[in-house]
Amino acid sequence: MGTLANLTLVFVAGLVTALATGLGALPFFVIDEVSDRLQVVLWGLASGIMVSASTFGLILEGLSEAEGAGDYWLVAGGLAAGVVLVLVANRLISDHHFDPQEYEEADFQKLVLILGILTVHSFPEGVAVGVSFAELNLAGGFAFGPFVVPLLAVFMTVAISIHNIPEGLAISIPLRSMGVSEPKMVWWAVFSSLPQPIGAVLAFYFVRIAREFLPAGFGFAAGAMIFLVVTEFIPEAVDRGRGLPGKGYRELAAGLLVGFAVMVPLAFLG
């Protein structure tokens, strides 16, 4: 398959993960609010899925690509780079935090700025999708039309899609309080993940033209996502669970365990 066809498939995979964020708004079509207990469970589920996908998908794949000690250091360096990039980006945008309530009131210039801020949080997930397609049409996988898709790519696309649902829910809750319509909530949830297909295409193109850096690419995506889980997803779950019995730690632990239990077996199918 040609480069354009490959890039199109990777873009579509990234777009699928972005569209999955809109699923987080769907509960508001039938209910008025989502309980804190369910939110804690969902954040735990997303965290378990992402740590599992990063560890048993990306890191192990990076190590399997490594052919010597130097390549192992590439994986480690990629992990560190992923953490550092997110840390630095968060520091740079610390004075520009936006609440989803501002989406509806923003003009075009501000929406562009908001999308830039969101890129820090969703771009690494797109990178993970793109890197997972590195062996597209090059190695074993399964036939999807004219393509041979790596199993890792399927695993990462599914994992990130599931992980995006609680993010869509978190974005929709304040919009509900503003009286924003349900279709618009779906749109704004998807909007928050629009950088993902772009990140997927850029990462895929890079690792295809510079395959010697593929172990670093796997490490980078894993490091960035694990760091986001530790610094954002878990704290969000803890914050939502403050008013629950036991501060919501049981719900958080249950979500984490389910996330691991669901994704670990899938990681070893390939």
How much is the pTM?
Answer: 0.84
268, pLDDT greater than 70:
no
Q: For residues 203 and 117, what is the distance between their CA atoms, to the nearest angstrom?
A: 19
pLDDT classification of 34: cutoffs 50, 70, 90: confident
Residue 129 has pLDDT above 90, yes or no: yes
- How far apart (Å, rounded) are the C-alpha atoms in residues 131 and 74? 15
What is the model's pLDDT at position 115? 58
pLDDT of 94 strictly over 70: no
Look at residue 145 in the predicted model and tell me its pLDDT.
Answer: 82
Query: Is 267's pLDDT higher than 70?
Result: no
> Model confidence at 238, in pLDDT bands (50, 70, 90)?
very high
At residue 204 the predicted structure's pLDDT band, cuts being 50, 70 and 90, is very high
Q: Which two tokens stand for residue 93?
A: 């945008």
Query: Which residues 6+ apart lie within 8 Å of 180 measured at CB?
Result: 104, 188
Nearest to 165 by CA among 33, 45, 30, 13: 45
Using pLDDT thresholds of 50, 70 and 90, give the confidence band for residue 17. Answer: very high
Q: What is the pLDDT of residue 180?
A: 81
pLDDT over 90, % of the chain: 29
Burial of residue 68 (number of CB atoms within 10 Å: 0-12, 13-18, 19+): exposed
- 65-74, 113-122, 179-188, 203-212: lowest mean pLDDT where? 113-122
Is a pLDDT exceeding 90 seen at residue 140?
Answer: no
What was the pLDDT predicted at 111? 58
Which residue is listed with tokens 């908001």? 114
Measure the CA–CA gap between 133 and 202, rounded to whole angstroms.
Answer: 12
Q: Is the pLDDT of residue 119 over 80?
A: no
Q: Give the β-pairing of 147-149 and 142-144.
A: antiparallel
- Residue 54 near residue 221 (C-beta atoms within 8 A): yes
Q: Buried b vs exposed e over 177-188: b needs ≥16 C-beta within 10 Å?
A: eeebebebbbbb
Confidence grade of residue 124 (pLDDT, cut at 50, 70, 90)? confident
Give percent of the chain with pLDDT exceeding 70: 85
Least confident of 72-81, 92-101, 209-218: 92-101
Q: Which residues make Cβ contacts (< 8 Å) with residue 249, sequence separation at least 6? A: 241
**Mean of all residue pLDDT scores within the chain:** 84
